[in-house]
Amino acid sequence: MMRNGISLSLAFAMIIGLLYSCKKDENGDGNGGAASVAVLGCNTASFSAVAVKQIIFNGTATVPYSGGNGASFSAGSSIPSSGVTGLTATLDQGSLTSGSGNITFKVAGTPSDTGIASFAISFGGQSCSLQLSVTGGGGVQVPAPFNKIYGASNISFDGTWVIIKTSGLPDHKSVYWPTNNALYEAFSGLTFQDSSFRRAPGNLMPQNITLKIPAFPAEASTHAPTPMGVIGVGINGVPFFNQYAAGGTSLSAEMRGFDQWWGHPQMTGMYHYHVEPKYLTTVKATKSSLVGFLLDGFPVYGPLDPDGTTPTNLDAYHGHTHITPEYTSGIYHYHFSATAPYLNGNGFWGSSGTVTQ
């Protein structure tokens, strides 16, 4: 209990993130020193630590309070941490003059070490030390599901966006590799949907593709249509395209040029998948596995749900929400399917990031 009858408690799950920007580990799994945070609160004698469910950057926390005196402080004032340095709490509101209310602030930065980070917060002349228990300081990893992207040349995280760089080259054989490449493999016969294969002109070539994807996606108020060209990326670093051929026409003719793993290059040599990436769903993983992400940050899975059944409740954007192995609290996600729209229907579910090449 604080002086003058003002009591403080923290009845919330603090969501906080830390800055990360480095190359993936040499073994390709990207498992840097993960940070976890627990809120200990101002009155540690009567407060139990709250488990953190998700780590994000610039997390917002709200401190409820009650008592006879109001609280007053300057909006935007910054409070540096002590103990574990490198974090700063920034107050969001102006003043609270009633006997109860909420005081909101953000915490951002990169912690110097593991330990207790304390912030000296004053309310109307009263003081309190907000404490955060930080485990694994000094930078954190890319959000875990994105570490499944094993084919990227570089993945970094700035606290809001996951930045993925890739050459776009497949890690499997194809008739579209130059004939002197070890991954070249002749192909004839039937391809996707029993189409008679007809080789398109040209070979696949390395690209310089950078995707900037929201790390913690949310539904967009307006669902933007997917563009022609790159709309996402597979876990092997190969781009995903939407359900249309050049000019927004049907894929029915173009799919005759899909190779033995159901991909092909476009005119500049960019290899890509419009339909189920067969190599990923049958060799590297399974038909119910995570196979990539779209530009809006939502994950893409193969044509089956985790229980091995075919999804029956996909919406207009070719997705639905439920628990997956990578998202144990559930998330909206897309599925590939054997028929149009193959991956994506009327647009992105979330707000799209960007792609440069």
Do residue 266 and residue 125 come from a single domain? no
Helix (H) or strand (E) holding 117: strand 115-123
Boundary (domain end) residue, out of 93, 113, 135: 135
How many CB atoms sit inside 10 A of residue 76's CB?
Answer: 10
Structure tokens that stand for 172 in this block: 């499997």
Do residue 129 and residue 167 come from a single domain? no
How many CB atoms sit inside 10 A of residue 130's CB?
Answer: 23
Q: What is the pLDDT of residue 12?
A: 27
Q: What is the pLDDT of residue 245?
A: 87
Question: Which residue, 19, 219, 2, is CA-closest to 112?
Answer: 19
Which residues in the chain show pLDDT less than 50? 1-74, 94-100, 124-125, 139-140
Q: Give per-residue pLDDT as tens, 37-69.
A: 333 333 322 222 222 222 222 334 444 444 434
DSSP 8-state code for residue 350: B
Do residue 148 and residue 106 come from a single domain? no
The predicted model scores a pTM of 0.65
Helix, strand, or coil (residue 277): coil
Q: What is the pLDDT of residue 14?
A: 30
Q: Do 300 and 317 meet the contact criterion of CB atoms below 8 Å apart?
A: no
Do residue 337 and residue 198 come from a single domain? yes
Q: What is the pLDDT of residue 32?
A: 30
Sign of CA dihedral 34, 214, 59, 223: negative
Helix, strand, or coil (residue 282): helix
Q: Give per-residue pLDDT as tens, 177-218.
A: 999 999 999 999 999 999 999 999 999 999 999 999 998 888
Boundary (domain end) residue, out of 109, 135, 161: 135
DSSP 8-state code for residue 169: -
Do residue 116 and residue 248 come from a single domain? no
Q: What is the pLDDT of residue 85?
A: 75
Do residue 72 and residue 183 come from a single domain? no
Whole-angstrom CA distances from 259 to 72, 75, 196, 301 are 67, 60, 11, 21
Do residue 230 and residue 313 come from a single domain? yes
Do residue 128 and residue 239 come from a single domain? no
Q: What is the pLDDT of residue 54?
A: 26
Do residue 317 and residue 195 come from a single domain? yes
Do residue 274 and residue 169 come from a single domain? yes
DSSP 8-state code for residue 174: B
Q: Do 78 and 89 meet the contact criterion of CB atoms below 8 Å apart?
A: yes
Q: How many domains does the chain have?
A: 2
Do residue 154 and residue 85 come from a single domain? no
Identity of the amino acid at 74: S
Boundary (domain end) residue, out of 135, 167, 195: 135
Helix (H) or strand (E) holding 79: strand 78-80
Burial class (CB in 10 A: 0-12, 13-18, 19+), 316: exposed
DSSP 8-state code for residue 184: B
DSSP 8-state code for residue 171: S
Do residue 165 and residue 50 come from a single domain? no
Q: What is the pLDDT of residue 163?
A: 92
Q: What is the pLDDT of residue 103?
A: 55
Q: What is the pLDDT of residue 128?
A: 60
Q: Got the DSSP string for 12-77? A: S-------B--PPPTTSS------EEEE--S-TTS-PPBPP----TTEEEEEEEESSS-EE--TT-
Q: Which domain holds residue 164?
A: 142-357
